[in-house]
Each structure stands twice: as structure tokens, then as C-alpha cells.
């Protein structure tokens, strides 16, 4: 989920069950068990809410599809809520481990775009679906990666740092990569896409950071509610996207699902292998696996719907990815959590 949400390695999460990343978490066993239980509930319910959004969009396609112009606003709400969870330690942490953050961010913007293009080629996807898959690959990391990294006992601080940097770089890298890899399928306006990402991602995130700085006590009080509101916004975006392509969903759905599963799987595997190849510890390997494999697919859907309005199926891969990467992430996190971190 695009677009979805955790934070501190030993604390809780951006799912609304956790304190902020710079804070110390619960130390007694009962509190830790409650924290982990709340995180598992969140990571289970979030995909269900997104699936429900897709079902509503499909069943009520005629009515819901009329809301297509509001998709960028829905994404802006999601990114605003991401912004209000960012604190000063999130940014200082980047300065402390710049090369690891750069490795994770670089891996994400190299592996996922190229994997999306390769999968489109291998499966012989029609142009609209190919663009949708490539857009997912060119998007920054999704905040769902922070949730599952926490559940997997991975390095959540590193996960949050990479998500933050990739989101801030998205206005530049996402349009350029999309133009390079998808330009042969359709005309891609990198400049228009850049403006869209600034408006729907960068501005809301910065606004959220400012609100957090000015009204930190209020945000702390509202903390448990905000991520659920973000999830509702994600489900809303998925519903509208699915409604717009409901006519072709039955015919293209299986092909899209195969492409999404392959894309997500390649990202998860290669992210882990890259981290292992450079000698990072187990917790960091798990973080990079999720950072590379889990994308801000809500942004991909929004960009597809905005810049390719005559090709509604272009937004479909992002909608399917929004559901699938939460399911696969939760499963892999459970498997990781059962394996001890020996280093």
C-alpha cells in the first residue's frame, strides 16, 4: 500500500501504533507484545481496506469513475500524512549513514525501473499496461516498507531514511526515468510529470513537515488516527483507479497480476542480494529488500491517470501493486521475523 505506513525499529510504527522515530519505545515485555500485536493488526487490515476500495470501484464503476480528477488530491493527502510523521532525527540519521542510504536509493531507482521495462518486454504487454508497470518501477519507495521492515525486525531507521530520500528525489528521477524507459510506447511529457509530482508529493510532504514542527503536540495526540486516514485515502485512490479501468479489468487482470507479482518479487530479491553483496548486516538487508521491492504505487496510479487519460488501463498496475505489495511484504516479514539475526 501507496501508499500506507511505520517507524522506529524497537518502538512502533507509522501505522499509528507507534511513537515517532526519534523516541525511545516501550521496554517492558507486555508493552513490546502490544506494540507487535498492533503492528500485525495494522499490516493485516490495511491491505483488506485497499482490497475493499478496489471492490467498491469495480462494482460502482459508473459512479466512482467520475471522481478521477480527485486522484491527485487523494495522493496529496497521503503524502501530507507521511510528512507529519517525519521528525528531525529522520533527517540527521541520513547524514550519519549517507553511503548506505545512497546505496538503497540508487538500488531502488535502478532495479525497479529496469525490472519494470524488462517485464513489459518479456510479457509483451500492450503499451498502456507497459507504461503502468514502468511507472510503478520509477516511483519512489512506499511507506508500507517501513511497516513490514519493523515486523521483520529489520533496520527501520534505515528504511525510513531511504523512503524519505527517494520521495524527495522523485520529482526529478521519476519523470526522467519514465521518459527514458516508456517513451517508446507513448509520448511522455517529463516536464509536466515533474510539475505533477512536485504538486502532489513534494509540496504536501513539506507542508506535513512544517505542520509537524509547528503543532507537534497536536500531531502526537492525533498520531493514532492519521495513518488510518491515510489508508482510507489510499483505498479511495485505488477505488477510483479501478473504476476507471473496470471495463478492461477482467480481460487484463490476470496479465497485470503476473507482471506485478514478478516486479515485486524481483525487487524484494535483488534488494536483499545487493545489501548482502556489500556486506551489510542482516537487519539492513531486510530493510533494503523492502525498500527496493515496495513502491509508492499510488503515485504511479495517479500519474498514469493524469498523464494518460485516454488509456485507463495504464493506472491498473499501480492499483494492483498497491494491494499485492502489502500482502507479499507481510508474508516475507513473517518469514524474516522467525529467523534470528545472528550478527
> How far, in Å, are 121, 141, 163, 329, 341 from residue 283 at the CA level?
34, 18, 16, 15, 7
- Cα 63 from Cα 82, distance rounded (Å): 29
Q: Is there a contact between 39 and 147 (Cβ–Cβ < 8 Å)?
A: yes
Instruction: Point out the least confidently predicted range of 30-39, 101-110, 224-233, 329-338.
Output: 30-39
Q: What is the pLDDT of residue 25?
A: 41
Check residue 18 and give its pLDDT: 38
Q: What is the 3-state secondary structure (H, E, C) of the chain?
A: CCCCCECCCCCCECCCCCCCCCCCCCCCHHHHHHHHHHHHHHHHHHHHHHHHHHHHHHHCHHHHHHHHHHHHHHHHHHHHHHHHCCCHHHHHHHHHCHHHHHHHHHHHHHHHHHHHHHHHHHHCCCHHHHHHHHHHHHCCECCHHHHHHHHCCCCHHHHHHHHHHHHHHHHHHHHHHHHHHHCCCCCCCHHHHHHHHHHHHHHHHHHHHHHHHHCHHHHHHHCCCHHHHHHHHHHHHHHHHHHHCHHHHHHHHHHHHHHHHHHHHHHHHHHHHHHHHCCCCHHHHHHHHHHHHCECHHHHHHHHHHHCCCCHHHHHHHHHHHHHHHHHHHHHHHHHHCCCCCC
- Structure confidence at residue 76 as a pLDDT band (50, 70, 90): confident
Torsion angle, CA of 145/116/321/139, rounded to 10 degrees? Answer: 50
Q: 297 pLDDT band (50/70/90 cuts)? A: confident
What size, in residues, is the chain? 343
Residues 284 and 302 sit within 8 Å (Cβ to Cβ): no
Mean pLDDT of all residues in 5-21: 38
In percent, the amount of the chain with pLDDT more than 90 equals 32
Q: What percent of the chain has pLDDT over 70?
A: 86
Distance between CA atoms of 127 and 90, rounded to whole angstroms?
39
* Statement: residue 157 has pLDDT above 80: yes
Average pLDDT over residues 153-172: 90
Quote the crossing angle between the two packed helices 98-123 and 88-96, to the nearest 10°.
90
Over residues 140-152, the mean pLDDT reads 83
Binning pLDDT at 50, 70 and 90, where does residue 34 land?
A: low
Q: Please give the model's pTM, rounded to 2 decimal places.
A: 0.81
Amino acid at each position: 500500500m501507496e501508499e500506507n505506513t511505520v517507524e522506529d525499529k524497537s518502538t512502533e510504527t507509522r501505522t499509528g501504533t507507534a511513537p515517532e522515530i526519534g523516541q525511545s519505545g516501550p521496554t517492558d515485555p507486555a508493552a513490546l507484545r502490544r506494540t507487535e500485536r498492533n503492528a500485525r493488526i495494522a499490516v493485516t487490515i490495511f491491505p483488506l481496506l485497499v482490497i475493499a476500495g478496489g471492490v467498491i470501484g469495480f462494482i460502482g464503476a459508473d459512479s466512482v469513475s467520475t471522481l478521477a480528477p480527485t486522484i491527485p488530491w487523494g495522493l496529496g493527502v497521503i503524502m501530507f500524512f507521511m510528512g507529519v510523521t517525519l521528525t528531525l532525527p529522520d533527517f540527521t540519521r541520513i547524514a550519519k549513514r549517507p553511503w548506505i542510504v545512497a546505496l538503497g536509493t540508487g538500488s531502488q531507482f535502478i532495479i525497479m525501473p529496469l525490472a519494470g521495462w524488462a517485464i513489459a518486454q518479456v510479457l509483451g504487454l500492450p503499451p498502456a499496461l507497459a507504461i503502468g508497470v514502468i511507472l510503478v518501477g520509477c516511483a519512489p519507495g512506499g511507506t508500507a516498507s517501513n511497516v513490514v521492515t519493523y515486523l521483520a525486525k529489520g533496520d527501520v531507521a534505515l528504511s525510513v531514511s531511504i523512503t524519505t530520500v527517494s520521495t524527495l528525489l522523485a520529482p526529478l528521477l521519476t519523470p526522467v526515468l519514465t521518459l527514458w524507459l516508456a517513451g517508446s510506447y507513448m509520448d511522455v511529457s517529463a516536464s509536466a510529470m515533474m510539475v505533477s509530482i512536485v504538486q502532489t508529493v513534494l509540496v504536501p510532504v513539506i507542508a506535513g513537515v512544517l505542520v509537524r514542527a509547528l503543532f507537534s503536540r497536536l500531531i502526537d495526540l492525533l498520531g493514532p488516527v492519521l495513518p488510518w486516514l491515510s489508508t482510507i485515502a489510499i483505498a479511495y485512490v485505488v477505488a477510483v483507479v479501478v473504476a476507471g479501468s473496470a471495463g478492461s479489468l477482467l480481460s487484463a487482470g490476470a496479465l497485470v497480476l503476473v507482471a506485478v507479482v514478478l516486479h515485486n518479487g524481483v525487487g524484494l530479491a535483488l534488494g536483499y542480494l545487493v545489501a548482502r553483496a556489500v556486506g551489510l548486516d542482516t537487519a539492513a538487508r531486510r530493510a533494503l529488500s523492502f525498500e527496493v521491492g515496495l513502491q509508492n504505487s499510488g503515485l504511479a496510479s495517479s500519474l498514469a491517470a493524469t498523464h494518460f487519460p485516454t488509456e485507463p488501463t495504464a493506472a491498473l498496475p499501480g492499483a494492483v501493486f498497491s494491494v499485492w505489495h502489502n500482502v507479499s511484504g507481510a508474508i516475507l516479514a513473517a518469514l524474516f521475523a522467525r529467523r534470528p539475526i545472528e550478527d
